[in-house]
Amino acid sequence: MKWDEFFVTGDPLIYGADVSIALTTAGILFYLTYFKKWKWLWTEWLTTVDHKKLGIMYIVSAVLMLFRGGVDALLMRTQLAVPEAKFLDSQHYNEIFTTHGTIMIIFMAMPFLIGLINVVVPLQIGARDVAYPYLNAVSFWTFFIGAMLFNISFIIGGSPSAGWTSYMPLASNEMSPGPGQNYYLLGLQIAGIGTLLTGINFLVTILKMRAPGMTLFRMPMFTWSSLVTMVIIIFAFPILTVALALMTFDRLFGSHFFTLQGEGMDMLWANLFWLWGHPEVYIVILPAFGMFSEIISTFSRKTLFGYKAMIWSMLLIAGYSFLVWVHHFFTMGSGAVVNSVFSITTMAIGIPTGVKIFNWLFTMYRGKIEFATPMLWSLGFIVNFVIGGVTGVMLAMAAADYQYHNTYFLVSHFHYVLIAGTVFACFAGLVYWYPKMFGYKLNERIGKWVFWLFTIGFNICFFPQYFLGLDGMPRRVYTYSEESGWGPLNMVSTIGGFMMGVAFLILVYNMYYSFRYAKRETHGDAWNGRTLEWSTPSAMPPFYNFAKIPVVKSLDHFWRQKQEGKVEKLTIKDIKPIHMPSNSGVPFIMASFFFIAGFGMVFEWMWMGALGLIGVFGTLIYRSFEYDDGYYVSEEEIIKTEKISN
């Protein structure tokens, strides 16, 4: 590595990014210093172990990553709008689609959902925090640092360019030399640690921290979906950890797992990657399903249809998710038997998913549907996700897949499931739980504009891509010829893409607008909700969530209480001191050491990698010797916070 190559140079787009990054950083530093916010930042956010604040930080990071991934997407769409465009060269385009895919899945979709899970699940089960609040902070900071490490690649050293799937031997030293691919390996590895810890944390939280009376079959559907998701994380993420580690060994230490030399096996990478990768798809879709269940039930003012079937179908999907990975490479020539088996298991996933769709439809049946923005996103989900679903079944038919594979048909399919499923859910959940997080709703009128613009743009962008795929347009090409005839549909697609971009900007504007003008909520039940998170007296729950832990008697306990007019009022008698965990700066510091270690290994400066790792172990030891049992919130403080007057 030569020092003059440390920073990526020579591209106006990247210079522009450099300038904007420098300006933004300077702006933030100025703001923090001028308004004396450093202490506030440290005590309220960097050291917090409060699940709600961590959740908000997850969501803020995810929205930033959505912006980054979205800019990547629009750059690609610009390049593809017309044939033979010269806007991006091949290498640049490859870097952009690689970072787009990786960021959207790992650093946008997952943290967005995990953020919502963080905010909502402890409240939904009537808990004061998660099982391991400290570990929760470690999870967030490792994710955040992993994301940052991955993101700086485009200004320092160069981005990875072997695709988010990073197939070997393309991603090997021989064909993708330099720091780019190392960024991918280490960024994902560090973030993956956080995800695995989240998996353990929330599994134990949901199993052990539920309010009295909340049996498993009285849990809200979003909590159920989170539970199932955590189980998938726990078994899927170690596979990614190993796969990434093996490729890191191949690149940094000369091993031969996936290389051309030494009889390495490139197909092994594909298998390991998708053994994690397919469950990963369900990690980002099941919480979405859970959210839609909550929202559809809430705004239909009706109990969820087929509650148990919803749970069983989710468990089935989770089990199946580990049995279908081969469908990502039917074309590898595994033979008729293997392809037949995996075709059938893959199609079979459609069965429980179809059941869920009908259950959602019949949740609305005989309901009283209110078209609030979260509900619009949920309705949009049903309509659009079904298209993604049926094309998924088409792709599952291996013999036909030979023609769809690696084409825009596939690209369109997975955007129809990931955007109409996950992204719609993120938006729906964000709008739905916004008053829980910030004490006011996002403006509904602007919200509906965002919904329509985004949904219509989404369809204009991706629907034509099915036809481009059937017309033989492969994915990941940076340009195409005039004679191919793919020009017009690509232009249409690009227009749709920019509509989605505008919709995103309006969404951000809505956050600003609502911050300025929205009416502040006066009570905790913004949407006439059904589950415990809406039962807190104040719009934003205090840091201890519940002054008195509720006792649950049925599914949708809070809704039933309201129906029967028996919502309990808090009295002074109920107030007892509450035990809470102390804040800690260690997770942030530990993650910073991870950054040093990761950055060192990216550039193969092993001394720096070792230094960072020593720091990580140092913080582990420090924490081990720290006996901080937390503290008690006094009765007076609770009474003051809850504004109990009698």
Partner 1 sequence: MRRLKPFLTFGVIIAVFMLSGCSNMVVLDPKGPVGEQQKDLILYSIGFMTFILLVVYGLFAFIVYKYRDHKNHKGYDPDNEGSHLLETIWWVIPIIIVIALSIPTVKTIYSLEGPPEETKDQKPLVIHATSVNWKWVFSYPEQDIETVNYLHIPEDRPVLFKLTSADSMASFWIPALGGQKYAMAGMETELYLQADEQGTFEGRNSNFTGEGFTDHTFEVHSLTDDAFDKWADETKSGAPELTKEQYDKLMLPGHVKEMTFSSTHLEWVNHADEADYAVKTRERLGYEPKVPHSKEAKEERKKLKEEKLKEEKQQQESESHGDSHAH
Partner 2 sequence: MAHAETHDPNTPLEYRSETGRLNILGFWIFLGAEIALFATLFATYMVLTHRIADGPALGALFEVKSLLIQTFLLLTSSFTCGLAIHEMRRHNVKGLMTWMIVTLGLGLGFLYFEIQEFLHFIHEGANIGTSAAWSGFFVLVGTHGAHVTFGIFWVIMILIQVARRGLTPATSAKVFISSLYWHFLDVVWIFIFTAVYLMGMVMQHG
Binding site for partner 2 (CB under 8 A): 128-129, 131-133, 196, 199-201, 203-204, 207-209, 234-239, 241-243, 245-246, 249-250, 253-257, 259, 261-265, 268, 272, 275, 579-581, 617, 621, 624-625, 627, 629-630
Helices 408-417/373-396 angle, 10° precision = 140
Partner from partner 2, partner 1, none binding residue 107, C-beta < 5-8 Å depending on class: none
Query: 98, 108, 105: which is closest to 76 by C-alpha?
Result: 98
Encoded one letter per residue, x for contact with partner 1 by CB under 8 A and - for no contact, window 265-294 reads xxx--x------------------------
Residues 561-620 that bind partner 1 (CB under 8 A): 563
Question: Smallest gap, in angstroms, from Cβ of residue 2 to partner 1?
Answer: 7
Q: Can residue 362 be called a binding residue for partner 1 (CB under 8 A)?
A: yes
What region does 298 belong to: left with phi over 0, alpha with psi -120 to 50, or beta? alpha
Main-chain dihedrals φ then ψ at residue 631, nearest 5 degrees: -150, 170
Question: Smallest gap, in angstroms, from Cβ of residue 287 to partner 1?
Answer: 22
DSSP codes joined into one string, 19-42: HHHHHHHHHHHHHHHHTT-HHHII
133 vs 392, which CB is nearer to partner 2? Answer: 133
Q: Which of 51, 100, 210, 302 binds partner 1 (CB under 8 A)?
A: 302
How many angstroms from the chain centroid is the CA of residue 83?
Answer: 34
Question: Smallest gap, in angstroms, from Cβ of residue 352 to partner 1?
Answer: 9
DSSP bridge pairs for 407 = 474
CA–CA distances in Å: residue 89 to residues 85, 92, 96, 151, 154: 9, 5, 11, 20, 15
Question: Smallest gap, in angstroms, from Cβ of residue 444 to partner 2?
Answer: 36
Partner from partner 2, partner 1, none binding residue 393, C-beta < 5-8 Å depending on class: partner 1
Query: 629, 524, 523, 530: which is closest to 584 by C-alpha?
Result: 629
Q: Can residue 331 be called a binding residue for partner 1 (CB under 8 A)?
A: yes
Q: Can residue 452 be called a binding residue for partner 1 (CB under 8 A)?
A: yes
How many angstroms from the chain centroid is the CA of residue 267?
Answer: 28
| Token pair for 386 | 């079904």
Partner from partner 2, partner 1, none binding residue 234, C-beta < 5-8 Å depending on class: partner 2
124 vs 391, which CB is nearer to partner 2? Answer: 124
Question: Smallest gap, in angstroms, from Cβ of residue 454 to partner 1?
Answer: 12
Q: Map tokens 């990071």 to a residue.
A: 61
Residues 397-436 that bind partner 1 (CB under 8 A): 397-403, 405-407
Partner from partner 2, partner 1, none binding residue 580, C-beta < 5-8 Å depending on class: partner 2
Query: Which residue stretch of 355-363, 505-513, 519-527, 601-609 sits at the interface with partner 1 (rule: CB under 8 A)?
Result: 355-363
Question: Smallest gap, in angstroms, from Cβ of residue 624 to partner 2?
Answer: 5
Partner from partner 1, partner 2, none binding residue 242, C-beta < 5-8 Å depending on class: partner 2
For residue 504, count other CB atoms closer than 10 A to its CB. Answer: 21
Partner from partner 2, partner 1, none binding residue 181, C-beta < 5-8 Å depending on class: none
Q: Can residue 374 be called a binding residue for partner 1 (CB under 8 A)?
A: no
Q: Can residue 378 be called a binding residue for partner 1 (CB under 8 A)?
A: no
Query: 514, 297, 533, 506: which is closest to 433 by C-alpha?
Result: 533
50 vs 401, which CB is nearer to partner 2? Answer: 50
List of residues 6+ apart from 518 with CB closer than 8 A: 440, 441, 442, 443
Partner from partner 2, partner 1, none binding residue 268, C-beta < 5-8 Å depending on class: partner 2
Partner from partner 2, partner 1, none binding residue 364, C-beta < 5-8 Å depending on class: partner 1
Backbone CA torsion sign across 616, 620, 621, 623: positive
Query: 144, 50, 52: which is closest to 433 by C-alpha?
Result: 52
Backbone CA torsion sign across 55, 61, 66, 69: negative
Three-state SS at 156: strand
| Token pair for 387 | 């298209």
Instruction: Answer yes or no: are the C-beta atoms of 430 and 508 closer than 8 Å.
Output: no
Number of residues that bind partner 1 (CB under 8 A): 114
Question: Smallest gap, in angstroms, from Cβ of residue 239 to partner 1?
Answer: 20
204 vs 332, which CB is nearer to partner 2? Answer: 204
Task: Report the residue count for the chain.
Answer: 646
Partner from partner 2, partner 1, none binding residue 163, C-beta < 5-8 Å depending on class: partner 1
Question: Smallest gap, in angstroms, from Cβ of residue 272 to partner 2?
Answer: 7
Question: Smallest gap, in angstroms, from Cβ of residue 556 to partner 2?
Answer: 24
| Token pair for 614 | 């020593």
Half-sphere exposure of 549 (CA within 13 A, CB side): 16
Distance between CA atoms of residues 124 and 131, nearest Å: 14
Partner from partner 1, partner 2, none binding residue 515, C-beta < 5-8 Å depending on class: none
Which uninterrupted H or E stretch holds 621? helix 606-625
Partner from partner 1, partner 2, none binding residue 237, C-beta < 5-8 Å depending on class: partner 2
DSSP codes joined into one string, 53-109: HHHHHHHHHHHHHHHHHHHHHHHHHHHHSSTT--SS-HHHHHHHHHHHHHIIIIIII
Distance between CA atoms of residues 43 and 37, nearest Å: 10
Q: Which of 2, 36, 519, 566 binds partner 1 (CB under 8 A)?
A: 2
Partner from partner 2, partner 1, none binding residue 629, C-beta < 5-8 Å depending on class: partner 2
Residues 117-176 that bind partner 1 (CB under 8 A): 157-158, 161-163, 167-170, 173-176
Partner from partner 1, partner 2, none binding residue 371, C-beta < 5-8 Å depending on class: partner 1
343 vs 583, which CB is nearer to partner 1? Answer: 343
224 vs 432, which CB is nearer to partner 2? Answer: 224
Encoded one letter per residue, x for contact with partner 1 by CB under 8 A and - for no contact, window 20-59 reads ----------------------------------------
* Cis amide leading into 169 (omega within 30): yes
